[in-house]
Amino acid sequence: MTERKRKLLLVNPLNTTRKGLIIHKHVIYPPIGLGIIATLTPDNWEVEIWDENFDKFEYREADLVGFTALTSSVTRAYELAALYRENNIPTVIGGIHASMVPDEAERFCDAVVIGEAESVWKSLIMDFEQGKLKKRYHGEMLSMENAVQPARHLFHPEYKFASIQTTRGCPMRCDFCSVHTFNGSTYRLRPIEEVLDELETVEHPLVYFVDDNLIGYGKKSQERAISLFKGIIERGIKIEWFCSASMNFADNDEVLKYAALSGCRMVLLGIESERIDQLKDMNKKLNAKMGIDSYEEVFAKIHHHGISVLGAFIYGLETDTPESMAHRTEYINAASIDAVQSTILTPLPGTGLYKRMEKENRLILNNYPDDWQHYSFAEVVFRHDLMERGEMMREIKENWDRLYNEPTLKRKFIRTIKQTKSATAGIWSYGSNLQYYNLAFEGERPIRHLADVFGVGSLQTNPFS
Ligand code: SF4
């Protein structure tokens, strides 16, 4: 008689009460971490991923339930974990939020994976099978050689992009970011041939490189990026892709040339602010060193290769005023930036910003874990020294209006097409703008699609909107 397979249910929870960036139905790439956990789980287990980005959770039987969560979705993860704990089914939580506040996570789940899961998942499963599940598992930051590949077949089929990771870690220490705490401040690189081997198995024609910075810093990193892009071309891997990078993306023309030839159509650049003093305050060293005056040249070089620029900006910085935020919007609208991600400064646990605000007693929404759902980059959760909370929110919405109104977006779209000479770059950046508009005004205004704006049915194929 064959033994019954045990069932592992992996859940990607959705922040159901509030909109916001990142964990949301508009997210276009799948939860790679859960896919990696699925691969690491032994064959005597059946694994299912329940993804609330698409389907509201329905209780289902399982022997063990695992959650991943960002800060804004952790409230929902704890809510779902409670359903299983009532039925004496053990729960595990991992991901960046639980890693930053394990004492809290431990109150809501039976086990917490702190850090990267690869080095501990198999022993966690073994402990579970022996009835000895521990409270905490501390993952090591392993080398990226022979990195575990996600079980892609378990991802929801409607994701618009496949995701793949080629590096982990970041040597920068931006005040508002916890990546260096979670993935380390050493830039760990996967061997190029392994990345290419994995890319060959990806059936999706659209790919998002989930690295925090695909290009990295310095000459060696540039050479690595060129080898990766040349490898994609030489192996005949037909994809169109986008990625995140730093303002040094345009430092080497060969990087841009081969990025474009291998399918790059858009790059997200963390610009954050157009003010040097603010960049220094948030420890955004590279941007501050380059200086705002050099940015137009950077954008022009990127456009020259048919790639559009998705600029990420923060509103509500600690020295912001209504006037400075209006100035930021003017800068963005005048600059050759094709798509705009405009978020509200949000102190996430594990960041220098959070520690400072906590110490100064400035976190207004601090009834945790319930209030974590407001940490979605779309709400003001802290006391600002120069603006009252309601006023700040009103001002930010006005800025969103000025960034994402229809005439501005149409003007940007036409300019993007002219500057990049790429229809895909234009459509992707326009679609991204609509996506951020929809996130900003969700629930308050009707969702807008590219086809609605242009009245062109075929543009409905745009993966971003
Ligand atoms: S914001 Fe980007 S550059 Fe800064 S620490 Fe985070 S990952 Fe690194």
Residues of the chain falling short of pLDDT 70: 1-2, 18-27, 443, 450-465
Measured CA to CA, the distance from residue 5 to residue 176 in angstroms comes to 43
Distance CA 335, CA 309 (A): 11
Q: Is 177 in the pocket of ligand 1 (CB under 6 A)?
A: yes
Q: Do the Cβ atoms of 308 and 265 come closer than 8 Å?
A: yes
pLDDT at 22: 43
Residue 412 CA to ligand 1 centre (angstroms): 27
312 lines ligand 1 (CB under 6 A): no
pLDDT at 38: 98
Ligand 1 pocket member 110 (CB < 6 A): no
Mutate to test the pocket of ligand 1, among 100, 165, 170, 313 (most ligand atoms within 8 A of CB): 170
Q: Cβ(152) to ligand 1 under 6 A? A: no
What is the per-residue pLDDT for 3? 78
In the beta sheet, which residues pair with residue 164? 209
Pocket test for ligand 1, best of 96, 174, 341 (most atoms within 8 A of CB): 174
Ligand 1, residue 178: give the atom nearest the CA: 6
By most ligand atoms within 8 Å of CB, the mutation choice from 165, 180, 281, 313 for ligand 1 is 180
Decide: 212 in ligand 1 pocket, CB within 6 A: yes
| pLDDT confidence of residue 19 | 53
Domains and CATH numbers, the chain: 6-138 (3.40.50.2300), 160-345+382-461 (3.80.30.20)
| Global model pTM greater than 0.85 | yes
Q: How far is CA 40 from the centre of its chain?
A: 23
Evaluate: CB of 179 within 6 angstroms of ligand 1: yes
Q: Whose Cα sits closest to atom 2 in ligand 1?
A: 212
Partners of 308 in beta bridges: 266
Two structure tokens written together for 413: 């779209």
